[in-house]
Amino acid sequence: MSDQKKEIPASLQRYLDSAEGAAAYPDLHQHVLELWRKNLLVVVDEPINKDTEMHPLVRWQYRGGIPEKDRKAFLFTNPTDGKGRKFEASVLVAGLAATPEVYRVGFGKPLEKIGETWINAIAHPIEPNIVEDAICQEIVTIGDDLDKPGAALDGVPVPISTPGWDNAPYLSAGHYITKDPDTGIQNIGNYRGQLKSPRRLGMNPSVELRAGIYTHWLKYKKLGKPMPCAVVLGCPPAVSYTSVQKLAEGVDEMAVAGGLAGAPINVVKAKTVDLLVPAESEIIIEGFIDTQSLEPEAPFGESHGYVNLQEYNAFMDVTAITRRKHPIVPSFISQVTPSESSVIRKAAMEPVYLNQLRHALGIKGVKRVSMHEPLTSLYAVIAIVFERNVPETEVWRALYAASTLHRFAGKWIIAVDEDIDPENADALFWAMSYRCQPQHDMRVLDRKDAGHGPRGPRDNGESASVLINALLKGDFAPVALPKREFMENAKAIWERLGLPALKPETPWHGYDLGVWPDNLARQAEMATRSEYFDFSDELIKGRRSDVAMNDPVPREGEK
């Protein structure tokens, strides 16, 4: 351990307090140290204004042409605000999913294992372990002590996500824990939370996403009681990753988090509400959500890429704040995608869709599900990749099934072949343009939930799903690029000449799609040897006077 202490900068030394923790999974302190060791963390020790500078600084790595592999997590150890106030806690931005590699570090599995790990965790959850003492309750502030300056929400350095538009700092990585009053099953979900006063926290229950907290709120409203709630700020990554996953109603996310971690998540009873919270959390905000009244909340820049204007939403009266020493406050960088929030959702949701289509429904030929990320925030455009020659009935089964898995997702659902890169919007448009006849290959399903994003002005904001079969319907001529061997040879020349580094984009070479007659293959090969005059007589023999201009030449065996 002493060697590790010498390796890390002084501003990170405080986080070594949990390096020898008893948990079988990393907490946020350990995660931050591991990011630093893997050169995935930028540590900013100079004062940074959380309300005007912090998120814009990190935003540049998503809007400044920085390749995904070069993006990093940011830890701000000296946050300030517009009034010059200083805060004890540090702020972690993009620390859980700046890139898939950052996500992988928190997840603790190779990228290729993430999908199967998610599916196994959902199928085989591990119930949490209740403990008596917890590091998240090292420092407890309750009752009138919350009214002291800096003792409540005014002492938590929550950044403003979209300076110039947001009307307050909002929790973007706040995990809200509530409990179903009928079943006793807890739900943990990630929702934005407006800091309205030192002891009042606004929240948006994401009604369109069928959030568990909203179901609980309706039940408490019917009972005429306020709803107990605990908001987690910073916790073991496995818990954070589960809190943003869209799971079936009635599923205890803490148990699924245990499935991800491969061990029970330690939980402890909160101080003022009857809820269990992650024991290795950084900060816990406890309180009661009013079920009788709603009050104005927002504007806030949302992950669909537009500012969410003011709405009536719920609010929570804070009854306690507990924390560990030297806490880290995580803040997701969201809004216009790609962003941290889209990376963290994409890694979990794609395998869930794939499992639903391939295993739950047994649809044949499905190879991959890809949710488009840049600007569209995953939910709008979904591509399903199929193997060649899959029966058309299976294609339509998959398209219809994908449109109904989540009521908020899937406005455009496109079936494509394996040679189409679903991450490349140009490739999707290419397939839609030349492998699809819309009058035969498109269906529109109306009465779709408005989904994630601004509501349209018609039909009470309802949307629709457009299903597109952009698969090859038969054999096609080759892709019109030089064959692979010629492109590879040219690449070697390019590099020998010292030209700028290449980043090949699919398709970067031509390939056969089923229609490439032997005589044309022979002629093309002769052409590469500069022997194209040698089959001139062959072309003369093919002359005809009984055909129209642009009529195709019959293939061998055709008339």
Residue 211's pLDDT is 66
Q: Cα separations (Å) of 155 from 59, 62, 149, 411, 505?
A: 24, 29, 8, 42, 48
How far apart, in whole angstroms, are the C-alpha atoms of residue 324 and residue 181? Answer: 29
In single-letter form, the type of residue at position 290 comes to: D
What pTM, to 2 d.p., does this model score?
Answer: 0.87
CB-facing half-sphere around the CA of 490: CA atoms within 13 A: 11
How far apart, in whole angstroms, are the C-alpha atoms of residue 97 and residue 107? Answer: 10
Picking from 278, 274, 268, the residue whose alpha carbon sits closest to that of residue 227 is 274
Residue 450's pLDDT is 66
**Would you call the peptide bond into 478 cis, given omega within 30 degrees of 0 as the criterion?**
no
Residue 1's pLDDT is 34
Longest dimension (CA), the chain: 100
Q: Which residues of 54-90 are buried (b: 16+ CB within 10 A; e: fewer)?
A: bbbbbbebbeeeeeeeebbbbbbbebbbeeeeebebb
Q: Cα separations (Å) of 240 from 18, 74, 258, 398?
A: 18, 17, 12, 30
Picking from 523, 521, 517, 524, the residue whose alpha carbon sits closest to that of residue 557 is 517
- What domains does the chain contain, in order, with CATH numbers? 2-331 (2.30.110.10), 361-469 (3.40.1670.10), 484-541 (no CATH)
pLDDT in 10s for each residue of the chain, 559 residues: 334 444 788 899 888 866 445 678 999 999 999 999 999 999 999 999 999 999 999 999 998 889 999 999 999 999 999 999 999 999 999 999 999 999 999 999 998 899 899 999 999 999 999 999 999 999 999 999 999 999 999 999 999 999 999 999 999 999 999 999 999 999 999 999 999 999 999 998 766 555 689 999 999 999 999 999 999 999 999 999 999 888 877 889 999 999 999 999 999 999 999 999 999 999 999 999 999 999 999 988 888 888 888 899 999 999 999 999 999 999 998 888 888 888 888 888 898 899 999 999 999 999 999 999 888 888 899 999 999 999 999 999 999 999 988 877 889 999 999 999 999 999 999 999 999 999 999 999 987 776 667 777 787 778 889 999 999 998 888 998 899 999 999 999 999 999 899 989 889 999 999 999 999 999 999 999 999 899 899 999 999 999 998 888 888 767 6
How far apart, in whole angstroms, are the C-alpha atoms of residue 235 and residue 285? Answer: 13
How far apart, in whole angstroms, are the C-alpha atoms of residue 199 and residue 176? Answer: 16
Whether 436 and 469 have beta carbons less than 8 Å apart is answered as yes
Picking from 306, 235, 315, 237, the residue whose alpha carbon sits closest to that of residue 277 is 235
Q: Whose structure tokens read 């659902």?
A: 413
Provide the token pair at 191. 């929702």
**Coil vs helix vs strand at 366:** strand
Picking from 25, 332, 35, 279, the residue whose alpha carbon sits closest to that of residue 172 is 332
Residue 249's pLDDT is 79
Q: Which residues of 120-135 are buried (b: 16+ CB within 10 A; e: fewer)?
A: ebbeebbebeebeebb
